[in-house]
């Protein structure tokens, strides 16, 4: 029986370890197994739109990668339930596309966007745990798929229209049954359990097992890591508590209304917590209001208790 040592969570690794060029091999391995091609990372980029949410550390961790084909890849982790998450990943890909449009640049030079979401809640309805979304144009009368002509194929360096539009991957981590049937399943096993079996062969996992060993963390890094895990537990408890309170309050009005009220209360309290942390970091009331969407008056009230 193989011995599985507990490893650093992938979201923490994205923030602290995988951004180092020496560790690109790990992320390249994950992307290569998921996308079924040899991915080489040129550089890690910072999205302008993502900076607005820098203080919101609890729910998501983003990384934006430029690969050797000049494609832009977003990797995002979402722990807590977010009902409008599908629209948010659309917004993220659209913002990234616009940010990388240069003045007077022809549309043919728009870069391919690949959005990868690792979600730890049950997003939508579906029996699978790995989903891929692409764009195709289907004939309403003849049911054929619209294709690029020869000139367009030369211009775009591809044969399929779907290759020039954003592409989305959603990995529903908690739906995985812990049976690794292929190499991407081996990665998902690690993403879910923070462990890697000795017989796993997926690209990048050997390096991940070596570099993401918790025992390698310094005392300071270990304390920071434990604080991060605690913040995730806190956010999860806060969401569940707010949800349940709202649900109980809404019993007289009906179960559906109660769920909606609980969700709304949880989102508001989450914004307040982000505001408190931002104020402690010294951000102004105006900036915090802009980041969280709370009113300046409410942020000012929160500042009194910070």
- Summarised one tens digit per residue, pLDDT across range 164-208 is 999 999 999 999 999 999 999 999 999 999 999 999 999 999 999
Residue spans of the domains in the chain: they are 10-215, 218-304
Please list the alpha-helical segments (H only) found in 38-84.
Answer: 48-51
Spatial neighbors of 209 by CB under 8 A, at least 6 apart, are 5, 7, 196
What does pTM read for this prediction?
0.71
pLDDT at position 234, please?
55
Residue indicated by tokens 């017989």: 199
pLDDT 10s digits, 120-174: 988 989 999 999 999 999 999 999 999 999 999 999 989 999 999 999 999 999 9
Cα distance between residue 162 and residue 136, in whole Å? 6
- Pairing mode, if any, of strands 113-119 and 167-172? parallel
How distant, in Å, are the alpha carbons of 265, 292, 299 from that of 285? 22, 11, 6
Angle, vertex CA 217, rays to CA 34 and CA 220, nearest 5:
125
Tokens standing for residue 205: 């996992």
């Amino acid at each position: 029986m193989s011995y599985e040592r507990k490893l650093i969570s992938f979201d923490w690794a994205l923030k602290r370890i995988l951004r180092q060029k020496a560790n690109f091999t790990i992320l390249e391995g994950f992307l290569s197994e998921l996308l079924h091609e040899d991915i080489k990372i040129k550089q890690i980029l910072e999205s302008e739109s993502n900076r607005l949410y820098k203080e919101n550390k609890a729910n998501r961790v983003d990384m934006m990668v430029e690969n050797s084909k000049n494609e832009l890849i977003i990797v995002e982790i979402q722990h807590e339930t977010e009902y409008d998450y599908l629209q948010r990943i659309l917004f993220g890909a659209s913002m990234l596309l616009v940010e990388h449009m240069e003045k007077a640049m022809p549309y043919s030079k728009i870069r391919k966007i690949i959005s990868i979401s690792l979600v730890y809640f049950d997003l939508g309805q579906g029996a699978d745990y790995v989903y891929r979304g692409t764009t195709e144009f289907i004939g309403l009368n003849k049911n054929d798929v619209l294709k690029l002509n020869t000139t367009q194929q030369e211009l775009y360096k591809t044969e399929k229209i779907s290759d020039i539009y954003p592409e989305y991957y959603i990995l529903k981590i908690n739906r995985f049954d812990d049976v690794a049937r292929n190499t991407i399943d081996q990665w998902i096993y690690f993403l879910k359990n923070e462990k890697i079996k000795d017989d796993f062969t997926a690209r990048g996992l050997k390096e991940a097992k070596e570099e993401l060993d918790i025992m390698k963390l310094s005392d300071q890094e270990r304390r920071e890591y434990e604080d991060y895990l605690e913040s995730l537990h806190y956010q999860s408890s806060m969401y569940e508590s707010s949800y349940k309170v709202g649900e109980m309050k809404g019993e007289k009005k009906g179960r559906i209304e109660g769920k909606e009220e609980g969700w709304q209360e949880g989102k508001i309290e989450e914004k307040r917590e982000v505001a408190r942390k931002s104020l402690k970091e010294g951000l102004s009331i105006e900036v915090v209001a802009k980041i969280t969407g709370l009113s300046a008056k409410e942020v000012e009230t929160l500042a009194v208790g910070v």
